[in-house]
Amino acid sequence: MTITDRQLRHSAAAYDATAPGLGLILMASGFMLMSLNDGVAKFVGESLPPGEVAWARFLFQSILAVPIVVAATGWRSLIPHRPLANALRGVLLSLSTAMFFIGLKKIPLADSAAIFFIMPFLLTILSVVVDREHVGWRRWTAIAIGFSGALLVIQPSFEAFGLFALFPAGAAACIAVFMLLNRRLRGTGSGMALQAFAGLSGTLTLAILLVIGTAIGVPEFSIAAPTLGQWGLLAGMGAFAALGHYLMIVAFRYATPAVLAPTQYAQIVSATAFGYVVFGNFPDLGQWFGIAIVIACGIYVFWRETRVRARG
């Protein structure tokens, strides 16, 4: 999970910015909860199809989020001004989650999180291709170095697990397109309502994929019967995701995006800790070097982009 383009582009007037420390704590807590969500997904995904795990995450997240949105803003807020475009957001989110969970079935948590964070680089490239945005040599250099860092993380996993190592990269690509779409939709509704609508459309998308996958025999997208304990884990996963997203949204009341954006890389740290404690996975020295490169280049690309946009 990354800080969305919508959140990054709120005006300065939207922030209280009087308690940046609290904002950082809330944001870091949100990312820690998302790591717990991923950890539960990896654990339960060892015995359930990852597509079904992704569907359950969206289902329970919607069960928790939709009543809150309805109570605060009414039923009509669940129908955005541009429903088809916003439904596409849900499709992209659900596909990203499913691909990430498929990768988690084989790949350690820390590796998956580090690979996923090539997303800022992909978003910059898409901005050039689709929006004709000018990107200078500094950002191109950071992107090239960042991808080289990601390769240091991907290569050992690819040698051990094959194409599974590329699923987190596919998830990052979906989120990059999702964020590009957010630029087209900014100002069309409240963040919470759009999140709820995306959750509902994502749940429906994954349900359709599960039916099709079961019919044609795709193991990753098939329907299984969870035990009572597994249902509890799936519900907990949805609760972690819902609360994590909520804390991230609230964090923007107390600090600006420039302050909060780098904290998204705390998810790699928490994923590493969770992966080591629960699964006994720990990156080797070369992978740590790659993770450090990805983090440093990602922060630089964000910083450089905000400076360029501030001038324009």
Over the stretch 8-49, which tens digit does the pLDDT of each residue have? 444 334 445 567 788 888 888 888 898 899 999 999 999 999
Q: What is the 3-state secondary structure (H, E, C) of the chain?
A: CCCCHHHHCCCHHHCCCCCHHHHHHHHHHHHHHHHHHHHHHHHHCCCCCHHHHHHHHHHHHHHHHHHHHHHHHCHHHHCCCCHHHHHHHHHHHHHHHHHHHHHHCCCCHHHHHHHHCCHHHHHHHHHHHHHCCCCCHHHHHHHHHHHHHHHHHHHHHHHHHHHHHHHHHHHHHHHHHHHHHHHHHCCCCCHHHHHHHHHHHHHHHHHHHHHHHHHHCCHHHCCCCCCHHHHHHHHHHHHHHHHHHHHHHHHCCCCCHHHHHHHHHHHHHHHHHHHHHHHCCCCCHHHHHHHHHHHHHHHHHHHHHHHHHHHC
Which pLDDT score is estimated for 7? 46
Which pLDDT score is estimated for 235? 95
What is the number of structural domains in the chain? 1
Residues in the chain predicted with pLDDT less than 70, given as ranges, are 1-18, 185-192, 257-258, 308-312
pTM of the model: 0.84
Which pLDDT score is estimated for 311? 66
Q: Which residue range forms the structural domain that includes residue 188?
A: 5-311
Which pLDDT score is estimated for 312? 58
Which pLDDT score is estimated for 1? 47
